[in-house]
């Protein structure tokens, strides 16, 4: 696995004024009282929309840093559908209390860069250049408690990922 390039991506996405682009403004800003600063997402199961004999089980673990205005930045490490170690560096936005009768329901979207679809699988994700490709991941979640939740992430036309979250 070639994660040597991830520190550079982290520096570009979460940098200070030295760079013209900062996807994580507010990284060091205080959050409202009582709001958790971090959230872990773990996924033990991904369902692919279509069967491919080359598909392998997908496991993912992500860490989000909550930011002001219901924004977040994070990094997900996962084993992709073809058994390759992969990563997703992203920034996103969450919308809480979507349904009046179910305030626990939220939606979110993240956008960033995936690394990991290489070799014979480089064409399995669009826009792949040298193993890096852009990604947008919408999700819907349900807060079980202030700390625990369930989440479904939609992985484009490929799959849907089921997981749990824990805030701390």
pLDDT at 114: 97
* 122 close to 160: Cβ distance less than 8 angstroms: no
d(CA 155, CA 25): 26
Report the SS3 class of residue 85.
strand
For the domain bounded by 36-167, which CATH number is listed? 2.40.160.20
Domain map of the chain by residue range?
Answer: 36-167
pLDDT at 11: 47
Q: Which residues of 10-47 are buried (b: 16+ CB within 10 A; e: fewer)?
A: eeebbeeeeeeebbbeeeeeeeeeeeeeebebebeebe
Per-position pLDDT tens, the chain of length 168: 444 444 444 444 454 444 456 778 888 888 877 788 999 999 999 999 999 999 999 999 999 999 999 999 999 999 999 999 999 999 999 999 888 889 999 999 999 999 999 999 999 999 999 999 999 999 999 999 999 999 999 999 999 999 999 999
pLDDT at 34: 76
Q: Which of 121, 133, 137, 129 is nearest to 82 (CA)?
A: 121
Query: How many Cα atoms occupy the beta-carbon half-sphere of 119 within 13 Å?
Result: 9
């Amino acid at each position: 696995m070639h994660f040597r390039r991830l520190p550079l991506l982290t520096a570009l996405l979460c940098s200070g004024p030295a760079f013209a682009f900062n996807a994580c403004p507010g990284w060091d800003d205080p959050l409202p009282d009582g709001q958790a600063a971090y959230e872990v997402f773990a996924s033990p199961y991904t369902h692919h929309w279509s069967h491919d004999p080359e598909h392998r089980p997908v496991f993912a673990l992500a860490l989000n840093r909550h930011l002001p205005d219901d924004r977040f930045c994070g990094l997900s490490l996962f084993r992709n559908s073809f058994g390759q170690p992969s990563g997703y560096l992203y920034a996103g936005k969450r919308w809480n209390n979507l349904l009046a009768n179910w305030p626990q329901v939220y939606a979110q979207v993240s956008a960033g860069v995936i690394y990991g679809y290489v070799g014979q699988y480089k064409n399995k994700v669009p826009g792949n250049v040298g193993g890096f490709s852009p990604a947008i991941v919408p999700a819907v979640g349900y807060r079980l408690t202030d700390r625990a939740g369930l989440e479904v992430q939609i992985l484009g036309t490929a799959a849907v990922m089921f997981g749990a979250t824990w805030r701390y």
